Every structure is written in C-alpha cells, then in structure tokens.
Copies of this chain bind each other. A is one copy, B any other.
C-alpha cells in the first residue's frame, strides 16, 4: 500500500474480529517496527506480544477498563529501557517516548497496509500493566495497541488546518 494511503487509512480501531492474524502478516508488521530509527540507533525497546486469552483479559483493568482491547487476537505492549536511551534530547529529556512513538507508528502504518487495525492505548496504569506482564522495575511502558482485523470502519477524525500548525522562519 502507498505510504500516503496507509497514513490516510490508519484509524483507531475499537472493534475487532476474532480472526487470527496470519503469521506472515505479523512478521511483516513487526519487521517494519524493527526498522524504526531511534536516537543514536540505541533501539531501547522491547515489545510484548500478548496472545494468551487470560493475560489479555487481565490487561483490561490495567488499561482503565477498555474492554475492546481483548477482542483483538493480539495486544502489543511497547516497553522502553530508560537507562539505555539517549538521555540528553534537546538538552533536557530522554528519547525513549519519541523512540517508541516512531516504532509504534511504523507498526501501525504497516498494519494498515496489511488490512489490520490498531489503536494507540495511552490511557493505562503503568504499574498494573507491568504487574500483569512481569515487566521489570527499570523498564517503562510507553503504550499498548491491540492488533486485529477491524470490525468497524470509523470516519476519519478531524485535524487542525495546516495553516494552524505550520509557520515560517519564526514561531507565530
């Protein structure tokens, strides 16, 4: 699928079919994620692919009761090594949220091109997700996403006009 088409077609999918994800599709989208750039190419990340039904169900309360996530055959948790990322981005912050954002974006655009749906989950309780998945103390959870065949076709969400988000040469 053309990159612009993938960008345009990617939507937050909150209703999934139970159809399993063919292994070769999963490999392709994980491969796209793997190629993501990261600050200093440190790749400070690990991804937990949750397929077990009971563990998926346990993630529901950890994700503030978003029940739809467990409908999907897979939930992926994006984890970051805070101690292994670039810690001086802009001179003030750690790169890992940006790194993970890019990796998940790669995954989601590739998923769209495979006919699969995803949904960035930012509303979760990190401590609870870590407890369910056995994630060590020094590893952060940046986001989660279900992955599966969409069972809905939501309208595109509105976006600000380009003139509102872009300015030239000086901040305006």
Seen from chain A, the residues whose Cβ lies within 8 Å of a Cβ on chain B are 1-4, 6-8, 10, 12, 27-28, 30-32, 34-37, 39-41, 43, 45-52, 55, 79, 86, 88-93, 95, 97-102, 104-106, 109-110, 112-113, 120, 122-127, 129, 133-136, 139-143, 157-160, 162, 165-171
Instruction: Classify the interface of chain A: helix, strand, loop or mixed.
Output: mixed
User: A47: which of B52, B120, B165 is its contact (CB, 8 Å)?
Assistant: B165
Residue of B nearest to A157 (CB): B41
Indicate how many identical chains form the complex.
Answer: 2
A95 vs B104: C-alpha distance when bound (angstroms): 14
6 other A-B residue contacts (CB within 8 Å) besides A46-B166, A90-B142: A36-B105, A37-B157, A41-B158, A48-B170, A90-B143, A105-B105
